[in-house]
Amino acid sequence: MSTATSLRWLIIPDENAAEPSRDLVGGKAWSLWRMRSLGLRVPPAFVVTTAACEAYFADGGLPEGLADELITGIRLLERQLGRTFGGTERPLLVSVRSGAAISMPGMMDTILDLGCNDEVEAALAAESGDRDFAAEVHRRFTGFYGRLVLGCTEELEDLADTASVRAAISSDVGETVPADPWEQLRAAVASVFQSSRSRRALAYRKHYGIPDDLGTAVTIQAMVFGNLDDDSGTGVLFTRNPVDGAREPYGEYLQRGQGEDVVSGRITPKPLTDLEERWPAVHAELLDAAEQLDREGRDAQDVEFTVQSGELFLLQSRPAKRTARAAVRIAVELVDEGVLEPGEALSRVTAEQIRTLLRPEIAPGAADTAEVLVTGVAASPGVATGVVVDTPEAAQANPGSILVRKSTSPDDVHGMIAAAAVVTEQGGATSHAAVVSRALDTPCVVGCGTDTVAGLVGRTVTVDATTGRVYAGALPTSAVDESEDEDLRRLTGWAERVTSLQVGPDVAVEPIFDADTVAAEDLGEQLPDIPDGTKTVRGAVFCAPDGVRAALDAGAEAIVTTHRLPVLLAAIAHQRSTS
C-alpha cells in the first residue's frame, strides 16, 4: 500500500509499494498488505489512517477533506470489482473495521454489510436469486448500524426482519438508519473512531498499559459473504493451538454465517475437521495459507477467513492471543524449528505469564468426590475459586468473583478483567469469551449449555478450566513445581546465559537485605529502601517486576526466591529497556 500524493487521510493499495507503517494503517490493514504480498486471496480494501482518527478527536468531527477521500476510495473498489456502491445492479457492500497499531481484539467496533438499503436489497436478491439472503443482509446491517452508530440498546439479533429492527431502533433512540450509503459510510467511520475511546477499550488499554490516546485506523473492505449459500461459511483458525501451544491448526467455522456469528458466541460453530469433510479443497488451501502466515510471521497467527460459494478469502492475520502455557511451548518450539534464537524466544514470554503458569492446581484426588455443577469447553486453562456473579458490574465490584454469562461481548470486558474466571452458556473455542480470557490469562469455560449457569449465582464454586468443569464449593489446591517442566527448564537455562543476576532459593552474596523483616506499617504500599552496598535481596516484594527493577537499580547481584524464571525474565526485560 502507498499514499497517493493527492490523499491526506487515506492509504490505498499499490502492488509495488513498500511496506506501510503499522502505526499509520493499524494492524488489520497491515496484515492485509502482508497477505496480498504473499499472493493470498484478500478482498480489496483501503484504509483511513490513524492520523485521521487523531484529527477527528482534535477537531470534534471528521477532518476536512476526508468525506471526499472516502469517495475516492470507494470508486477504487468499484473499478476493481465492477460493482457500484448503492447501485441497483451489482451493488457494492463494504465492511468498516477498526484496526489499532496494537491488537485489541473485540474492543472496538466493526460494521458489516454497509451500503444496504431497500433498493440494494432488491438488487442483491435479483443477482443472487435468493430473496432470503438479501433480506438477511439488510436485517443484519440495520442491526449493526442501529446498535453501533445510533446507540440502540434493544436486543436486535433475534428480530425476524428489517422492518422489526427498524421499529425497535426508532422506538429506542428516535432515529432511523439512513438510506443514503454515503451518509452511512461517514457515520460509520466516525463511530469506529469513537469506539477507540469506549469504556471497554479504555479498560483494556489500562490493563495492558497501552496509552489512552492511541487511536485507530479504519479499514474499508469489499464484503464477501459467508452467508450467501450452502457453499459459503466463515471461521477463525489459529496456526498453533492457543490453549496448549501444540503445533497443529486449531479453529472453528460456521456454514452459511458471518464472522460476527462465530466471535459473538451466540452460535456454537463446528470444528475444522468438519470443514475438511465438507470442503476438502478449501480446507487444504486454508492450511497452506496458515502455514505460510505462521512461517512468514515467525509466530502463531490468528487468521479470520470467509468462504463465498466455495472460494476462500482471508480477512485478517495477527499474532494469536494465547495462554501462558501456549506462550511457553510456542517460544521453545520456534527455537527448535530454527525460527527464533533463544534470546528472542525469551522476549516472547513475560514474567507475569510464568507466574500465571505456576498458579496452584486442584490437589490430586480432590475432584474425585466433588460435585460437578456444569461442564463445557476448556477455553483458557487454570483454576479459580470464588462466588458466582452474573453481570460485569458485579464482577468489577467484587474482584476475584466468578463471572457467568450467556455469552460475552466487548461491553463485558471490565468485568472479565476483574473476575477470577469466566463461564458462559454459549460459544466455542474461538468466541469472544475464549479469545479475551486467553489474552487475560483468566480461566474460562465456554459452551456449557442453555440455562446451565443462571442458578449458580451467589454460590461458591471452583472452576477447573483445564478440564472444562465447574465444581461446587472451594476445592483444595497444590503448588506447581517449575523444575518438573522441560520447557520451563530450557527457558531458565537460556535466561541464565543472558543475565548475570543470580536467582534461586540458596543464593547468598553478602550483604543481604531481607524485606520480609520490614514491618508492614513501615513498608505500606511502597517498595522498601534498599541499603547501599546490598548484594542480595530476599522477600516476596522482590519477586514482582517492580521489585526486580528496584533491586537491579540498587546494584543487587542476587535475589532469593523459589520461582526463578519469572524473576530472570523480569530482570532481562529491565536490562533491555535500559540498554
* Model pLDDT for residues 242-256, shown as the tens digit of each residue: 989 999 999 999 999
pLDDT in tens, 323-341: 899 999 999 999 999 999 9
Which is higher by pLDDT, 169 or 213?
A: 169
Q: Strand locations in 178-272, DSSP E? A: 217-222, 233-238, 250-255, 270-271
Strands 502-504 and 477-478, bridge-based pairing: unpaired
Look at domain 224-322 and name its CATH class: alpha beta
pLDDT tens profile 454-505: 899 999 999 999 899 999 999 999 877 888 899 999 999 999 999 999 999 9
Q: What values do phi and psi take at 281, rounded to 5?
A: -70, -40
240 has pLDDT over 90: yes
CA dihedral 451, 415, 350, 244 (to 10 degrees): 10
CA distance 70 to 48: 8
Please report, as a single letter, which amino acid is at residue 295: R
More confident residue, 522 or 21: 21
Phi, psi of 36 (to 5 degrees): -60, -40
CA atoms of 464 and 473, how far apart (whole Å): 12
Nearest CA among 182, 184, 180, 216 for reference residue 197: 216
Question: What angle is formed at CA 70 by the lines to CA 257 and CA 191, rounded to 5 degrees?
Answer: 60
- Report pLDDT digits (tens) over 332-382: 999 999 999 999 999 999 998 998 888 888 988 899 999 999 999 999 889
Please give the angle made by the CA atoms of 258, 302 and 249, to the nearest 5 degrees: 100
β-strand partners of 71: none
361-478 maps to CATH 3.50.30.10: yes
**Of the candidates 95, 94, 98, the residue with the CA atom closest to the CA atom of residue 27:** 98
All cell numbers assigned to 526: 511502597
pTM, full prediction: 0.83
Q: Where are the domains of the chain?
A: 1-223, 224-322, 361-478, 499-578
**Distance from C-alpha of 482 to C-alpha of 559, rounded to nearest angstrom:** 17
Range 22-39 average pLDDT: 92
Contact status, residue 572 vs residue 345, Cβ threshold 8 Å: no
| Residue 318: strand, helix, or coil | strand
Q: What is the DSSP letter of 17?
A: P
Q: For residue range 266-307, what is the model confidence (pLDDT) as tens digits? A: 777 899 999 999 999 999 999 999 999 999 999 999 999 999
1-223, superfamily in CATH? ATP-grasp fold, A domain (3.30.1490.20)
3-state secondary structure of 27: helix
Average pLDDT, the chain: 91
Same fold flag, 1-223 and 361-478: no
Half-sphere exposure of 510 (CA within 13 A, CB side): 0
Residue 374, φ and ψ in degrees, nearest 5 = -145, 160
